[in-house]
Amino acid sequence: MAYNIQFQVAALVLVIITAVLLLEKRAIRLYLQRDYLFLFVASSFSICFDILSVVAIMNEELIGQTLTHVICKLYLFTIALVACALSQYTYKGGKKGKQMVFWTKAARFLPLVIQVAVLILFPVSVYRSENLVYTYGVCVITTYVVCFIYLTTSFFFSLLYFKNMNRHSCYAIWFLIVAVLMAALIQMLNNEVLLVSLAMGIGMVYMYIKLENPETYIDNETHAFNNYACTEYAERMLREGKPFYVAYMKVEGIRYIKEDFGGYQEKELLWQLAAFLTGVGGSKMPVFRNGFFSFSMFCSNEEKLKETVEQIKKRFSTNWKVGKMQFKLKYRIAYLTDYKLISSAKDLIETLQYFVEYNETEKAVVEVDEEGIARKNKLMETERVLQWAVDNNAVQMYYQPIFSIQEQRITALEALVRIVDEKGQIFMPGDFIPLAEKNGMILPLGNSILKKVCEYWKSGEPQKLGVEYIEVNLSVVQCMQDTLAHGFLKIMQDMEVPPERINLEITETAAIHSEYTLLQNMRTLLRAGSSFALDDYGSGYSGLSNLLKLPLKHIKLDRELVWAYFANEKSAVALRHEIAMLHELGFSIIAEGVEDEHQYQTMKELGVEFIQGYYFSKPLPTKALAEFLENFSYEN
């Protein structure tokens, strides 16, 4: 008796090759990988039992009818098991690994239970001829129905959760469904061509290549697991509710090595770093590369995590060697010991990144705790409100008067920004300006501020009240933009505001970090008519060389410097000499933070030209400012 089983053998070869690849590559346990392995194992068994069933039928006289029928029934069961596994894979992929409720599990396995019952209660019928063998009867019909149900539900879930799923997941699922259905149809019409097993084998290979290849989760540069794998791994840990402990670290200084010594040294150093981190915890501590210079490590217990952190600290206290060169690298680590503080994998990574990026202390290692997460959540809410305020024109301007001692009146205003959320809550600059500078929102925010100031000037209200110009603060990030001057001049032109009515305040920090770009912007704006003031003079280590390079008109004495004058004699001597020097250099001086008559008179005696502070007025919104200026009079 001759019978050709080349299709089943080809399918078996495919799954064997895939199995070798799966075992060969370094892998990490992810929730969908486990379901893929279940699907893969079920398909492998089905292919094997397909071959065994053909062999058993062909040799029924030797092994007996009972064993032959058992093997055939096991083959029918594995076919339905493959369809059930595919449905499970699709559902969990769409639900992002969320645990199924009891009734969902019961409904999922009910068709399979019915099929098992049918296989137990009813015999399987076998047909055999010289070149043809196949099974038929109630057991086979039930298997087809059960498979059709599972394949239909898989297709339904892939459509229902299409937006949640990886596109390649959907394509792989559809490919397997179509391949199996077409193979089954051909097999039903032509019993001599048994293609179902081959369709399964091809489907498994396709899914491996597109979805479950371990290389998908490996960072090619460092051979650590990549950020995608980190997200998937964290999702599995959170879904299963298993305790885990994680450390996130960012290494500083590597990019400067590339700039100074080249890309090879940078890559070599990255590889050394990843190899060290991978070796610290061994195979039971997966290491993920989350960004170019950042890594995360997951541990199964708190002791292991803290031991790992200590080993990292010890290693970074020594030099890293690349060829003949040695480098000292800085690092920051944030570690989490209570996974219940985290709601999702995305939340986990964002939280750890926050504690590394926005570390308020000088410590290299910080623990993520409930209080810190509360601060982080507040910051994230502030960031959201800031974005909302800029997008919805909810930026509000307050103005603080600047008093001219010579003219004995208010001649200028400083524009100070506030943002308001949907509920009307006001956020002060200290709450959002540092954040805006770090996340880049300071650029659209700065444009919104200038537009608001220009709108106010265009209304004619400031001129009626005797205001000659308005001061607008520039951040360090704004000063680093080579398009700053042209962007600001366009806004003034569009709003029909003369540039000489806008005085821009810069800080010495901005001058230090972006000297060339800042000077180019200043010259462009000066030619158009704007002027500049140096803000917060005396708040740091003001350098005379920087001061002389900048085309400034005003110098604003920081309030701490003003207050220090009244605190001790040394500060008083220093401020008197600085004021004299600034006058000799041709600058006019604005004293900030003046709060009483004594301070005002002292600044006046020292020759200060302008006064700004609560002695005259706090920052006011436009309506309150108009009322204040209309009723303001001062003679002294």
pTM over 0.75: no
Please give the backbone phi and psi of residue 180, each rounded to the nearest 5 degrees, phi first: -65, -45
Over residues 66-79, the mean pLDDT reads 91
The pLDDT of 262-290, averaged and rounded, is: 79
Cα–Cα distance measured from residue 87 to residue 636, given in angstroms and rounded to the nearest whole number: 86
- What is the share, in percent, of the chain residues with pLDDT greater than 70? 86
Cα gap 1→584, rounded to integer Å: 114
> Which pLDDT does position 607 carry in this prediction?
94
Looking from the CA of 273 toward its CB, the CA atoms found within 13 Å total 31
Stretch among 262-266, 274-278, 318-322 having the lowest mean pLDDT: 262-266
Q: How far is CA 289 from CA 139, 191, 253, 321, 431, in A?
A: 51, 52, 17, 21, 32
User: Which residue is associated with the tokens 């099974």?
Assistant: 135
Does residue 99 surpass a pLDDT of 70? no
Write down the CATH superfamily of domain 380-627: EAL domain (3.20.20.450)
**What distance lies between CA 320 and its chain's CA centroid?**
29
Quote the Cα angle for 506-509-511, to 5°: 65
Residue type, 101: V
321-360 pLDDT, tens digit each = 877 777 788 888 998 888 888 888 888 888 888 888 776 6
Kindly report the average pLDDT of the chain as a whole number: 84
Q: What is the pLDDT of residues 430-464, one digit of tens each?
A: 888 888 888 889 999 999 999 999 999 999 999 99
Is the predicted pLDDT of residue 162 greater than 50, yes or no? Answer: yes
**% the chain with pLDDT above 90:** 31
Residue 213 confidence (pLDDT) above 50: yes
* Higher pLDDT, residue 434 or 22: 434
List of residues 6+ apart from 187 with CB closer than 8 A:
193, 194, 195, 196
Q: What is the dihedral of CA 230, 253, 519, 434, to 10 degrees?
A: 50
**Pair 184, 196: CB distance under 8 Å:** yes
Average pLDDT over residues 530-541: 80
Q: What count of other Cβ atoms lies within 10 Å of the Cβ of residue 498?
A: 13
- For residues 194 and 7, the answer to whether their CB atoms sit within 8 Å is yes
Point out the least confidently predicted range of 144-158, 581-595, 602-616. 144-158
Task: Decide: helix, strand or coil at residue 504.
Answer: strand
pLDDT at 102: 47
Are the C-beta atoms of residues 8 and 194 closer than 8 Å to each other? yes
For residues 507-523, average pLDDT: 82
Query: Cα(292)–Cα(275) distance, rounded to whole angstroms?
Result: 15
Whole-number pLDDT of residue 282: 65
Beta bridge partners of 416: 398
Element (H, E) at 438: helix 429-439
pLDDT at 254 exceeding the cut of 80: no
Residue 181 in this model has a pLDDT that exceeds 70? yes
Three-state secondary structure call for residue 622: helix
- Whole-number Å distance between alpha carbons of 587 and 532: 11
Measure CA 382 to chain center: 17
Per-residue confidence at 3, pLDDT binned at 50, 70, 90?
very low
- The answer, yes or no, to whether residue 183 has pLDDT greater than 90, is no
Enumerate long-range contacts of 154-157, CB under 8 Å, 24 or more apart: 154/83, 154/86, 154/87, 154/89, 154/90, 157/87, 157/90, 157/91, 157/94
DSSP assignment of 299-350 equals ESSHHHHHHHHHHHHHHHTS-EEETTEEE--EEEEEEES-GGG--SHHHHHH
Instruction: Answer whether residue 625 shows pLDDT above 90.
Output: yes
Task: Determine the pLDDT at residue 447.
Answer: 94
Residue 385 CA to residue 394 CA, distance in Å, equals: 10
The CATH number of domain 6-215 is 1.20.1070: yes
Rounded to whole angstroms, the Cα distance separating 430 from 426 reads 12
pLDDT top residue among 101 and 307: 307
pLDDT at 127 over 80: no
Residue 218: C-alpha distances to residues 28, 169, 228, 508 (Å): 10, 19, 9, 45
Q: Top-level CATH class of 218-368?
A: alpha beta
Least confident of 1-10, 157-166, 559-568, 595-604: 1-10
Q: What is the pLDDT of residues 469-482, one digit of tens each?
A: 999 999 888 888 98
Q: Which of 237-251, 358-372, 491-505 is predicted most confidently? A: 491-505
Look at residue 59 in the predicted model and tell me its pLDDT: 86
Domain residue extents for the chain? 6-215, 218-368, 380-627
Ranges 273-287, 539-553, 612-626, most confident: 612-626
When pLDDT is cut at 50, 70 and 90, the band that residue 1 belongs to is very low
The DSSP letter of residue 509 is H
Residue 582: the pLDDT is: 92
First-to-last alpha carbon distance for the chain, in angstroms, is 122
pLDDT tier for residue 540 given thresholds of 50, 70 and 90? low
More reliable by pLDDT, 269 or 552 = 552
